[in-house]
Amino acid sequence: MMNQFPREEGLDHSLNLLREGYMYIPNRKKSFASNVFETRLLGQNAICMSGEKAAEIFYDEEKFMRNGVAPKRLQKTLFGEEGVQTLDDAAHRHRKSMFMALMTKSRLEALQDITEKQWRLATRKWEQMEQIVLYDEAKEIMCRIACVWAGVPVEEGEIKELAEQLAAMFESPTALGPQHWKGRRARKQVEKWVEGLVDQVREGHLNPAEGTALHEISLHKDLEGEYLEGRVAAVEVINILRPIVAIAIYINFTALAIHHYPEQKEKLETADAKYFQMFVQEVRRFYPFFPMAAAKVRKDFSWEGYLFKEGTLTLLDLYGTNHDTELWDNPDIFNPYRFSGWDKSPFDFIPQGGGDYMMGHRCAGEFVTIEIMEVSLNFLVNNIMYQLPEQDLSYSLVTMPSIPKSGVIMRDIRVK
């Protein structure tokens, strides 16, 4: 005898998901008193799961797969079509190894230097300005970092527009109307431009340094020994550029944490590298980013007495797992010290997905994110002084992705 899933009755709850955002799964997890429940989303049956044990099975390749899961509106904006996110098995592992080969120690050291330089240049400019909106500035800084690190040539005059286009891809997926269409248009335009760069690399007219994303992805061969289709190679180069620009969101939340927890700022002024790391981990745990990850059941299996039927859409609660009271003491308190004794489970702290980088779909850019955040944190705390004027610093747990309302306005910026 199988258990019945706690079930949310009704024809479809996609609108509730949009209305409740990051709290959609946590709210039902609480009311059903269950880490797993069944509902209907996007016109189909769906299972929602939360917590460490749920993450462990979600990242078991024999149980779940990704092909055909992402809805079109996400593919047309956030992900692109036929990228690594949509692959399974040997094809996925082969493509993923292309990404992970970009994340070597020396390439991460290069990233640190690039990030420091771009922050220095930006903060010098800010000294001449009355005030800045950190979110807008950070998107541009991140775009410069992304292009230099990935070997993508961009004219200085084009950076602002490119940053906006890459940001539109992650700002638009759940938006309706013009903002959504902006994201689709941006993806089309940037894909076409990057595809042109890939062609130039293959023809020998453009020579990005070895080890950069543009070089490695352009010349990557699939399991049949063929280059990726130009359009797909462009999707994968953008899978490096776009999420680096998205780190601007974490930089906003970093500034928010420094502001809301002044005792942390004092501590950071004399802290060692270990504490910086713990602070960055806590920013990634505490603040909302990706609410959930999606997969579908590969073939029937049972887990904890529940039958998971082949083909069922399954969502893993990333935000809720990072705030799970079974896993974290007082999860709604910002406390970097919690990471001093953390046992590094691949399934309890999952802002960028869980499991194994090479074998599964865990974010390929987690080290890149941490590196850039640590350098940026140091800049905000130790390299500049600034004031935050009165503004709306609240952020939503409904709008996805969540960004502080004012974008964090800073004024009277001085380099220390």
Looking at the Cβ atoms of 241 and 413, the one nearer to ligand HEM is: 241
Number of residues that bind ligand HEM (CB under 6 A): 25
Give the bridge partners for 296, in sequence order.
65, 313
Question: Binding residue for ligand HEM (CB under 6 A) from 13, 76, 96, 144?
Answer: 96
Determine if residue 10 is left, alpha or beta; phi over 0 gives left, psi from -120 to 50 gives alpha, anything else beta: left
Output the six-digit token pair for 382.
Answer: 């130790």
Looking at the Cβ atoms of 167 and 413, the one nearer to ligand HEM is: 167
Residue 368 touches ligand HEM, criterion: CB under 6 A: yes
State the nearest-atom distance from the C-beta of 400 to ligand HEM, in Å. 12
Residue 165 touches ligand HEM, criterion: CB under 6 A: no
Question: Binding residue for ligand HEM (CB under 6 A) from 151, 336, 351, 407?
Answer: 351
Question: Binding residue for ligand HEM (CB under 6 A) from 114, 166, 197, 240?
Answer: 240
State the nearest-atom distance from the C-beta of 398 to ligand HEM, in Å. 18
Asked if 223 and 101 count as a contact pair (C-beta separation under 8 A), the reply is no
Count of helices and strands (H, E) across the chain: 15, 10
398 exposure class (CB count in 10 Å sphere: 0-12, 13-18, 19+): middle
Residue among 354, 349, 323 nearest 22 (CA): 323
Residue 244 touches ligand HEM, criterion: CB under 6 A: yes
User: Residue 256 contacts by C-beta under 8 Å, 6 or more apart in sequence?
Assistant: 287, 393, 395, 404, 408
Residue 285 touches ligand HEM, criterion: CB under 6 A: no
Question: Binding residue for ligand HEM (CB under 6 A) from 289, 306, 319, 386?
Answer: 289
Looking at the Cβ atoms of 201 and 373, the one nearer to ligand HEM is: 373
In angstroms, the Cα distances linking 95 to 70, 130, 217, 234 are: 18, 46, 9, 14
Asked if 86 and 92 count as a contact pair (C-beta separation under 8 A), the reply is no
Looking at the Cβ atoms of 145 and 413, the one nearer to ligand HEM is: 145
Residues found near ligand HEM in the complex (CB under 6 A): 84-85, 96, 99, 239-240, 243-244, 246-247, 250, 289-290, 293, 318, 351-353, 361-365, 368-369
